[in-house]
Structure 1
């Protein structure tokens, strides 16, 4: 009987990992498909960011909410509902006739994804104990690292051989497999304490995340302080000279302060809170979440820039781009073997630090190779090293963050940990996207001025290149009258991509520094208590 139960637990881990793959592949597969989406739906560079950010924004905003709901109403139940929502939204995205409807579909996907990710972690935390929990976390983390790299290859093949719409359509069979597998192999679990949901806290958490990411993305469009371009919806136009961006940042700050104050007040009154503030007294949990946010900021932002540069500047198609990024996937899978060999011999925090160092070397190396006439050869080893780093850091950091969390609080803890990662990822895409396009605009303007191009024409060319996220470069190159301008555009877009890569390396360096505070908590383990839990 115990053998059968044990086999079901590990089979369940397989389907949980496939569920993680569903949301991670989707968040990366879209990057390779974006150039084709740009050309077919004629979306702007701001919409390009929102195709990615609409998903990430909602995802990050609701992780805490659904992590808490899972503890109360059943982790498996919420996970299955999330897979269903995600799959239906994927169908809508695959059929979307406009950029606006695609973005709306991505918003709904984010809701489904926010139900899936924290429940996978909390199910693992509640199902496995001791050394088995460490192995399960390693499988979960390696899946994230590997699928983040396999996604571009799959997306490249689907986009080249069929259409970008299949980048979303692939989620349909995966969703069916997950629902059947999880229903058969994963036992339901929930917290013993069933309390009222903190609705005010949920609202404040959303009001913190949404305006923050909105401001980071739209700052270069609407203006960081005063209005550059007035937002308009139908006949209504933004009436103030003050940009909506600083207002959005102010709303986020006020909401964050209110969220913390409200949560502490409820905690002192003995009532349930969306975020278990008491968990932050656990050193490994508190410091690990800080490190996770900073690391994710550097890790995932660069994945937005590279496919655009490879296809619109270097001239790769989507499949070639995916094949090149396969070296990142191979590195991540190699990392899982390395982590297994080091288990028990090296403390997890040192594996995290080694992974981050490899990421820094890899992404900085990519930055140094970026040029308009770059070739695939020098990129492969650096992407491989970067992949090794992602695999090592992702798997072990999760284990460090949740190692000392009691199973009863696993949903809230995993939701918090996932929120930290997704907050970092959302900020990474927003910040590095802004670096990419702002640097490109500045560099192209300077080059066109040096060439003596009239201001009106220069502004038009810069607007075309930046608003199209680089897609207009091919059109400039095709016309004999604008071939020289295309050369400048390729150089400028390379400058922007290089700046984004170096920015990512800087954030990863900051993340490495933040792990220096993980020493005590990362070394502390209480296997006796875990076994007894």
Structure 2
């Protein structure tokens, strides 16, 4: 019986990992498909960011909510509901006729994804113990790293051979497989405690995230302080000279303060809180969440810029882009074997640090390689090293964060940890996207000024290139009258991508520094509760 139950647990881990693959593959597939979406639907560079951010914004905003709900209503149940919502939204995205409807579909996908990710973590945390838990987290983390790179290959093939719409359609058979597998292999899990849902905290968490990401994305459009372009929603127009962006930042700051104050208030009254404030007394949990946010900021931001540069500047198609990024996947899979072999033998914090160092070397190497005349050869080894780093760092950092968390609070803890990662990812896409397009705009405007181009024509060319996320470069190259301008645009977009890569390397360096604050679990010393549970088993 024990062997059969053990086999069922590991089979369940396979389907839980496929569930993680569903949301990770979708995100990375979209990155490769974006250039085709731009050409087909004619979306702007701001809409390009929102195709990603609409998903990430809702995803990050609701992770805490669904992490807590999973503890109460059942983790498996909530994960299956999330998969169902994700599938329906994927169908809507696949048939979307406009950029606006595609963004709306991505919003709904974010709701489903925010149900899936924290429940996968909490199910693992509640199912496995001791060294098995470390191996399970290694599998989970390696799945994230590997699928983040396999996704572009799959997306490139689907986009090139069929249509970008199939990049969303692939979620349907994956989702069906997950539902069937989880129903047969994963046991239901929930907390024994019955507490009221923190609705006010949920609202405040959304009011913190949404304006923050809006401001970071739209700052270059509407102005960071005064209005550069008037915000218009239907017939309503922004009435002040002060940009809506600083207002959004102020709302986020006030909502964050209110969220913390409200949580402290509820905790003092002995009531449950959306954010597991009591868990922040655990050094590994507190410091690991900080590290996870900073690391994700660097890891995920560069994924937006690289496919655009490869296709619009270097001239790759979607399939070639995916094949190039396969080297990242190979590196991540290699790292998964290394991480599994080292589990329980080497302190997790040293594996995390080694992974972050590899990521920094890989991203910085890619940055040095980027240029308008770059070739694929030098990119491969640096992407491989970067993939190794992702594979080493992701799983072990998750294990460190959750190592000393009581199983009864695993849902809330997983939601908090996932929120830290997604907050970092959301800020990474927003910040690095802004670096990419702002640098491109500045460099291109300067180059066109040096050519003596009239200001009106200069602004028109810059706007075409930036608003199309680089897609206009191809059109400029096709006309003999604008070929020189296309060369300037390719150089400018390369400089923007290079700046984004160096910025990502900088944030990863901060993440590496932040691991110096990790606590006892990072050194390989488990909690007393963990030791007692292991002894009972």
TM over 0.5: yes
1:157 aligned partner? 157
For 2:377, what is the secondary structure of its paired residue?
helix
The answer for unaligned runs of 5 or more in structure 1 is none
Distance across 1 between alignment mates of 2:167 and 2:335: 26
* 1:528 alignment partner, one of 528, 531, 536: 531
The answer for unaligned runs of 5 or more in structure 2 is none
1:67 aligned partner? 67
For 2:518, what is the secondary structure of its paired residue?
helix
Q: Deviations over 1:322-363 (max 9, x none)?
A: 000000000000001111222233100000000000000000
- The yes-or-no answer on 1:419 pairing with 2:422 is no
Paired residues of 1:209 and 1:252 also in contact (CA < 8 A): yes
* 1:32-71 superposed matches below 5 A: 32-71=32-71
2:115 aligned partner? 115
Distance across 2 between alignment mates of 1:377 and 1:405: 45
Q: Deviations over 1:288-327 (max 9, x none)?
A: 0000000000000000000000000000000000000000
2:28 aligned partner? 28
Paired residues of 1:349 and 1:519 also in contact (CA < 8 A): no
Structure 1 position 522, deviation (Å): 1.2
For 1:150, what is the secondary structure of its paired residue?
helix
Distance across 2 between alignment mates of 1:264 and 1:492: 49
1:205 aligned partner? 205
For 1:376, what is the secondary structure of its paired residue?
coil
Paired residues of 2:403 and 2:521 also in contact (CA < 8 A): no
Q: Deviations over 1:180-203 (max 9, x none)?
A: 110111111100001110000000
* 1:4-403 superposed matches below 5 A: 4-403=4-403
Q: Deviations over 1:262-284 (max 9, x none)?
A: 00110110011111100000000
Q: Deviations over 1:217-258 (max 9, x none)?
A: 000000001110011112211101111111110110011000
For 1:270, what is the secondary structure of its paired residue?
coil
Paired residues of 2:60 and 2:423 also in contact (CA < 8 A): yes
Distance across 2 between alignment mates of 1:344 and 1:4: 25
Paired residues of 1:205 and 1:255 also in contact (CA < 8 A): yes
Distance across 1 between alignment mates of 2:520 and 2:129: 21
Q: Deviations over 1:348-397 (max 9, x none)?
A: 00000000000000000000000000000000000000000000000100
Paired residues of 2:131 and 2:343 also in contact (CA < 8 A): no
Structure 1 position 520, deviation (Å): 3.3
- RMSD in angstroms over aligned alpha carbons? 0.8
For 1:124, what is the secondary structure of its paired residue?
helix
For 1:195, what is the secondary structure of its paired residue?
coil
Structure 1 position 529, deviation (Å): 2.6
Distance across 2 between alignment mates of 1:189 and 1:441: 51
Distance across 1 between alignment mates of 2:308 and 2:344: 41
- The yes-or-no answer on 1:455 pairing with 2:458 is no
Structure 1 position 519, deviation (Å): 4.6
Distance across 1 between alignment mates of 2:359 and 2:5: 39
Distance across 2 between alignment mates of 1:282 and 1:353: 20
Paired residues of 1:198 and 1:272 also in contact (CA < 8 A): yes
Paired residues of 2:35 and 2:311 also in contact (CA < 8 A): yes
TM-score, with length taken from structure 1: 0.99
Distance across 2 between alignment mates of 1:360 and 1:398: 19
Structure 1 position 528, deviation (Å): 1.8
Distance across 2 between alignment mates of 1:477 and 1:93: 32
Distance across 2 between alignment mates of 1:161 and 1:80: 31
Paired residues of 2:287 and 2:519 also in contact (CA < 8 A): no
Paired residues of 1:282 and 1:521 also in contact (CA < 8 A): no
Runs of 4 or more above 6 Å deviation:
none
Distance across 2 between alignment mates of 1:530 and 1:461: 65
Structure 1 position 8, deviation (Å): 1.1
Paired residues of 2:135 and 2:343 also in contact (CA < 8 A): no
Paired residues of 1:353 and 1:393 also in contact (CA < 8 A): yes
Structure 1 position 7, deviation (Å): 1.2
Distance across 2 between alignment mates of 1:155 and 1:146: 14
Q: Deviations over 1:94-138 (max 9, x none)?
A: 000000000000000000000000000000111111111111111
Paired residues of 2:361 and 2:382 also in contact (CA < 8 A): yes
* 1:500-511 superposed matches below 5 A: 500-511=500-511
**Number of aligned residue pairs:** 533
Distance across 2 between alignment mates of 1:344 and 1:193: 32
